[in-house]
Amino acid sequence: MDEDSILMYSDYIGRIIHMLQLYLDESLLPYEITHQQAKIVSYLDEVERSGKKIHQKQLDSKMGLTSSSITSLLQSLEKKEFIKREADEIDARKKFIYLTDKGRELNKEFIVVFNKAEELLTEVIQPEERKLLFYILKRITLHLENEEKGRMKR
């Protein structure tokens, strides 16, 4: 196989994603939470610390998941008392999502898990390579997001 083959890139990227998800899910088992749920909790903590509010539609977009997937993840988080949802006073159809104290406390531990995963990903490359990798991944992500927006307009 040619080293520049797109199949080779997608194969490696797919394998990295799969192994990373397994690592995260295994590390998060003691909290009875998936990596996707932990990412939502961490993002909500970030939003709250910035003094903002977020409703479910915004979360759908930010997490890159369907509305039904987000609903399912949020229902599970709510059942575990990590989050609460409250209707918007202006538009009751919109539900704002907030962390509970329990969610905020556990997020500190989730951040440790996410940081260990980042270290695992980058421990074999030099600091300059890390910067380059980040730059390349960011460029690819922006390119694919623009492509997706273009397809959606058609």
- The token pair at 41 is 């909790």
Q: Which residues of the chain have pLDDT under 70?
A: 1-6, 154
Predicted confidence (pLDDT) per residue in 94-128, tens digit: 889 999 999 999 999 999 999 999 999 999 999 99
Residue 65: per-residue pLDDT: 84
Tell me how far apart the alpha carbons of residues 103 and 68 are, in angstroms, rounded to a whole number: 22
Residue 47: per-residue pLDDT: 94
Round to the nearest angstrom and report the end-to-end CA distance of the chain: 35
